[in-house]
């Protein structure tokens, strides 16, 4: 490294270092521009360059072919033959970042540094106006779309069957040159996680009020609509419903948490998460609260306080949000948080929003009178004995439970049914092959 190198200057001794030259061009273009000189020794002396026919044209082609967007810097030869220096003058690119050999770079002091995914995405949005879900997916083809996912969407949207290409065009999920966007991968790809492994939802039901002991857990993959459906099923399976006698023949079912608000929180997390950032959406259920976490923060123009009053709809992923809107799962008025607050207030649930540097979180806190006792306190002595038996052996059958507790088959059936409803056991098989296993294998190790 030459001692004369700086934020805007890079020296190379020979054309054999052409790959580093290309990287410096990309780094300068992402920053404020700069100069790359070839033929300068480590002490700043002119080492000279042997120029052949087509040398400059070859160098120009290497820069153009290995940068994205392609760079066309000014290239000139300065000095007399034998001590000539190639001088590459790089202008600041209006579109950032500039990539070299498949990685985004920027200039920091005297070095070229690679950008993180999140840094690169923010630069793209700032300089092109294109959000992550609108960027082209180079590896995704129309044949990679799932017919099942397409049919499911059209059914939700109450639309007639159309070819995949037409559907993507209608949803603005294709670029001008006919490439599917990132949003198309997450909405309709057969295996979205093959390209975006962190595009998933992790759900957990914890014992008590801390994240120490798991009662149930699930990692949800697939497309975004199935992620939403399965996350809501997990919540339903791991929360309770209160039966209230209304004085009429009918009974009123009151969920532990308002279903509409939970659906809004999970759907918003899926639509608004930062898919360029590391991390997954998380749904955490405790004895006293339920939390929905997602990577990414609020847009700069929104504050936590503004979520409790009327505010504009500013989706982080407008292409994905449009598909959810067409599927009748969200609205575009920015009133979702107001409806959440209203229904939570009527049911005595405290609604909290929290935005930090790398994540956004919605928390539903139950009032003291709504907090259910720990699952262990709800079990009778027979059920506790049966659960311990299942933990030790990995499963239990109705016959084993009946013999263990010395009770009738009817009583054994009722006890096991109650354990299923509380989410302590899961039933597998049918008929004589029916088995009851503990909800989480992790719980067996605690």
Least trusted range by pLDDT, from 52-61, 335-344, 361-370: 361-370
- Mean pLDDT value across residues 40-60: 86
In degrees, rounded to 5, the angle at the alpha carbon of residue 434 between the alpha carbons of residues 432 and 435 is 135
In degrees, rounded to 5, the angle at the alpha carbon of residue 143 between the alpha carbons of residues 157 and 194 is 90
How many angstroms separate the Cα of 72 from the Cα of each of 65, 68, 418? 10, 11, 71
Domain ranges of the chain: 9-115, 201-370, 375-445
User: 245-256 pLDDT, tens per residue?
Assistant: 555 555 566 788
Distance CA 113, CA 116 (A): 10
User: For the chain, how big is the Rg over CA atoms in Å?
Assistant: 30
User: 3-state DSSP call for residue 131?
Assistant: coil
- pLDDT classification of 444: cutoffs 50, 70, 90: very low
User: 189-233 pLDDT, tens per residue?
Assistant: 999 999 999 999 999 999 999 999 998 999 999 999 999 999 999
CATH architecture of the region 375-445: Orthogonal Bundle (1.10)
Distance CA 336, CA 329 (A): 11
Distance CA 117, CA 277 (A): 6
Neighbours of 272 (CB within 10 A): 22
Choice between 181 and 299, residue whose per-residue pLDDT is larger: 181
Let me know if 312 is exposed, middle or buried by CB neighbors in 10 A (0-12, 13-18, 19+): exposed
pLDDT of 345 higher than 50: yes
Tell me what pLDDT residue 441 has.
38
Choice between 428 and 354, residue whose per-residue pLDDT is larger: 354
217 token code pair? 């857990």
Q: How far is CA 129 from the centre of its chain?
A: 20
pLDDT of 278 higher than 90: no
Bridge-based pairing of strands 201-206 and 281-285 is parallel
Cβ–Cβ < 8 Å for 279, 199: no
Tell me what pLDDT residue 127 has.
83
Tell me what pLDDT residue 244 has.
57
pLDDT of 91 higher than 50: yes
Nearest to 299 by CA among 49, 433, 122: 122
Cβ–Cβ < 8 Å for 265, 201: no
Tell me what pLDDT residue 269 has.
96
- pLDDT classification of 443: cutoffs 50, 70, 90: very low
Cβ–Cβ < 8 Å for 15, 77: no
Choice between 170 and 122, residue whose per-residue pLDDT is larger: 170
User: 127-166 pLDDT, tens per residue?
Assistant: 877 889 998 998 999 999 999 999 999 999 999 999 999 9
pLDDT of 427 higher than 80: yes
> Can you state the percent helix, strand and coil of the chain, rounding each to 5?
40, 25, 40
Cβ–Cβ < 8 Å for 95, 127: yes
User: 387-408 pLDDT, tens per residue?
Assistant: 989 988 889 999 999 999 999 9
pLDDT of 57 higher than 90: yes
Distance CA 90, CA 102 (A): 19
**Which CATH topology does 201-370 take?**
Heat Shock Protein 90 (3.30.565)
User: 183-194 pLDDT, tens per residue?
Assistant: 999 999 999 999
- Mean pLDDT value across residues 4-21: 92
The chain-wide mean pLDDT, for the chain, equals 88
- Mean pLDDT value across residues 263-277: 93
User: 3-state DSSP call for residue 371?
Assistant: coil
pLDDT of 173 higher than 50: yes
Cβ–Cβ < 8 Å for 387, 379: yes
Cβ–Cβ < 8 Å for 28, 107: yes
| Category of 362 on φ-ψ map: left (φ > 0), alpha (ψ -120 to 50) or beta | beta
Provide, rounded to the nearest whole percent, the portion of the chain with pLDDT above 70.
92
Provide, rounded to the nearest whole percent, the portion of the chain with pLDDT above 90.
60
- pLDDT classification of 1: cutoffs 50, 70, 90: low
For residue 388, the surrounding DSSP H or E stretch is helix 381-393
Cβ–Cβ < 8 Å for 29, 91: yes
Could you please report the per-residue DSSP string of 183-232? HHHHHHBSSGGGT-TT--EEEEEESTTSSSSEEEEEEE-SSHHHHHHHHH
Tell me what pLDDT residue 332 has.
72
**Which CATH topology does 9-115 take?**
3.30.950
- pLDDT classification of 356: cutoffs 50, 70, 90: confident
């Amino acid at each position: 490294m030459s001692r004369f190198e700086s934020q805007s200057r890079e020296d190379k001794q020979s054309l054999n270092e052409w790959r580093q030259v290309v990287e410096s061009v990309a780094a300068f273009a992402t920053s404020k521009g700069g100069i790359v000189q070839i033929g300068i020794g480590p002490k700043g002396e002119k080492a000279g360059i042997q120029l052949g026919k087509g040398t400059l044209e070859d160098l120009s082609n290497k820069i153009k072919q290995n940068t994205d967007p392609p760079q066309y810097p000014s290239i000139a030869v300065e000095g007399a033959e034998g001590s000539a220096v190639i001088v590459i003058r790089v202008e600041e690119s209006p579109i950032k970042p500039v990539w070299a050999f498949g990685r985004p770079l920027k200039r920091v002091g005297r070095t070229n540094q690679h950008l993180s995914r999140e840094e690169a995405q923010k630069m793209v949005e700032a300089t092109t106006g294109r959000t992550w879900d609108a960027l082209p997916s180079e590896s995704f083809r129309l044949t990679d779309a799932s017919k099942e996912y397409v049919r499911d969407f059209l059914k939700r949207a109450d639309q007639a069957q159309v070819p995949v290409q037409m559907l993507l065009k209608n949803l603005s999920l294709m670029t001008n040159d006919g490439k599917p966007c990132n949003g198309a991968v997450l909405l309709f790809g057969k295996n979205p996680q093959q390209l975006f492994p962190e595009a998933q939802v992790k759900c957990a039901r914890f014992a008590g009020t801390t994240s120490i002991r798991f009662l149930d857990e699930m990692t949800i993959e697939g497309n975004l609509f199935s992620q939403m459906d399965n996350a809501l099923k997990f919540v339903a399976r791991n929360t309770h419903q209160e039966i209230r006698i209304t004085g009429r023949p009918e009974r009123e079912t009151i969920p532990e948490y308002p279903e509409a608000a939970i659906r809004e929180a999970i759907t918003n997390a899926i639509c608004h998460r930062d898919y360029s950032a590391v991390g997954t959406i998380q749904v955490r259920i405790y004895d006293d609260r339920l939390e929905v976490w997602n990577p990414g923060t609020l847009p700069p123009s929104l504050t936590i306080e503004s979520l409790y009053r009327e505010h504009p709809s500013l989706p982080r992923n407008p292409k994905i949000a449009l598909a959810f809107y067409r599927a009748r799962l969200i609205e575009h008025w920015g009133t979702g948080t107001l409806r959440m607050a209203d229904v939570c207030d009527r049911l005595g649930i405290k609604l909290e929003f929290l935005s930090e540097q790398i994540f956004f979180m919605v928390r539903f806190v139950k009032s003291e009178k709504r907090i259910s006792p720990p699952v262990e306190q709800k079990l009778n002595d027979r059920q506790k004995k049966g659960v311990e038996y299942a933990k030790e052996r990995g499963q239990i059958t109705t016959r084993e439970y009946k013999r263990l507790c010395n009770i009738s088959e009817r009583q054994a059936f009722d006890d096991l049914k109650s354990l299923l409803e509380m989410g302590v056991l899961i039933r597998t098989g049918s008929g004589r092959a029916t088995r009851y296993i503990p909800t989480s294998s992790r719980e067996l190790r605690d």
